[in-house]
Structure 1
């Protein structure tokens, strides 16, 4: 059994493998680390490229495209390691990227998972949208990051280089104990893609496990390589899965209020798409809410299990107020401007 398994999930991404896999192989060549590519039944030449050009990489060939969530679940079932690293195929890693995370988890048994500092591959002096320097969430399910609030992405000046407890670690580079991954039930395959890592982290955090960002480890993420930011399919998955995540994890005392407010905010988002002329995205919001209502009964058992296993009723990294209000009315565009103590009162 290896100590660390770096696992890249691939689907029709042969060119990304050629571009980014060399850095992963080169900078992960330390004792006890194995690199895997799990292929989600690609129809391009991905498997051939792996076999001919990256023979040192272990392959896991899945029989169909299971999506991000179940693709990882199926792959990780076949791997034995102390730590898993779920790494997107469009991530360029840097020298010594693994060592700080290994050292921290080795000495902090209370921490289930961590992430590195995520910078943009295209603008390497700036944070990357999906993860930045660690994820947080507001009362109504809106995720934000240290280094990114709403659409504002900050430049990296070392302002967030301290190790900090977080609510969620990005699935682009998620370093997690295999025991915690399995004990929490892994990623929810019903999500297919998007929000699944936040849902997993919420389960871990509510059960008393901790998550941190370790900025001494740095990677560069392209982002949006599978579905572009404005893609209606991505809009649909983000809205639907966010609602399902809230339903699965919210306490009984919060559920009605939060979901009522979210209904209003979702219709505001749909109207905003309409004003911008983005009719497919507007339709995606309505479709997401419709499917959430249809699927909710199928998630009742998961909700009951999560509530039964919850030991941490108040999670400090999930703020009690609205990040939308802070952003639009409070004009707080940067994480450093947020008063986290105030937001948790």
Structure 2
């Protein structure tokens, strides 16, 4: 049996994918692996570019942009490896990281899924996984003004910082960043695949919650992988800045808000979903009041603009438009326009 099946979801990112494949073939020895690429209807010459250089990989062509969860779900049934790696196209493999990860994963059978130390392009550490906070309260931190209030009380109450940026040896986590998630294929019959309701963002967190019912999850320190960040999603959202969900008043932020609340509903239930939705909604008047005060006293140096407020308010309107669908928790593809 193949040691590792590597699955990519591609959307107009042939250049990034080729760079990653180059690094895999250059930096990987000691294990057998296969490459599976699922293309989310790029409608460009991605397939020609990639398969010309790597003709032996499996290319699965979808006829619509299925997003991250459905894209990976389309690839997983074609995997023959005993371990499956969901790998972003905007990653670079270093120093035989795949062999090291597989070796550690097979040594530590108590873990059903794992990640590695992710690095920024300058070599500094990047958030690689996290611990779950009750009810997902940490998802409120990006809220304008109100998020600062939540952060203040978090520090006051000595709340544990959920994000894991620096991995120490083997670090247990509740979820692994979706850029690099390795899972044992034999656990998927019980955990299920990624939830197809998600288009983009938060799907790996919800999936990890189900995987964790089968066993522990961890991050390994020794294997290191560069994660450029936002490669595919920036193409879709036509944005140059990778803000990792901190900006809630643009198109990407709209999807982040909806996907985050979808995850809260699925993982924590109706009660927490209602609580967090209340915070998103109440932040509209809080945002307005805070912005008026800042504009009066700081003028052009205010953190936010009137356009930020208007777009955030529109995004909350979109969230409320999905409110009853999420409440009922019936199958639906939450791809936000």
Query: TM-score normalised by the shorter chain: which range applies?
Result: 0.7 to 0.9
| Structure 1 stretches of at least 4 aligned residues deviating more than 6 Å after TM superposition | none
Q: 1:269 to 1:90 in 2, by over 3 A?
A: farther
Query: Matches of residues 108-147 of structure 1 in structure 2 within 5 Å?
Result: 108-121=108-121, 123-125=122-124, 127-128=125-126, 132-142=127-137
Say if 2:115 and 2:218, in contact at 8 Å, map to a contact too.
yes
Q: If the length of structure 1 is used for normalisation, what is the TM-score?
A: 0.73
Report deviation, 1:298: 3.6
Cα distance in 2 between the residues matched to 1:224 and 1:70: 18
Instruction: Indicate the larger mover: 226-235 or 86-95.
Output: 226-235
Give 1:215 shift.
Answer: 1.5
Q: Which runs of 5+ in 1 are unaligned?
A: 145-149, 153-157, 301-345
Residue 235 (str. 1) matches residue 253 (str. 2): yes
Instruction: Say whether the 8 Å CA contact 2:187–2:214 is kept in structure 1.
Output: no
More displaced stretch, 169-178 vs 50-59? 50-59
> After the TM superposition, which residues 1-345 of structure 1 pair with which residues of structure 2 at under 5 Å, given as runs?
1-121=1-121, 123-125=122-124, 127-128=125-126, 132-142=127-137, 160-205=167-212, 207-225=213-231, 226-227=233-234, 228-229=242-243, 230=247, 232-250=250-268, 255-256=270-271, 258-270=272-284, 275=291, 276-277=304-305, 278=308, 279-299=310-330
Aligned positions, number: 282
TM-score (normalised: structure 2): 0.75
Unaligned runs of 5+ in 2: 140-146, 152-164, 235-241, 292-303, 332-337
Work out the CA distance in 2 between the residues paired with 1:289 and 1:178: 37
Higher helix share: 2
CA distance in 1, matches of 2:53, 2:186: 33
How far does residue 269 in structure 1 lie from its aligned partner after superposition? Answer: 4.6
Residues 30 and 299 from structure 1, CA distance in 2 versus in 1: closer, same or farther, beyond 3 angstroms? farther
* SS of the residue 2:36 aligns to: strand
Distance in structure 2 (CA, Å) of the matches to 1:97 and 1:166? 20
- Where 1:283 maps in the other structure, the secondary structure is helix
Which of these two proteins has the greater Rg computed from alpha carbons? Answer: 2
Give the 3 Å change call, closer, same or farther, for CA 260–296 of structure 1 in structure 2.
closer
User: Which shows bigger deviation, 38-47 or 278-287?
Assistant: 278-287
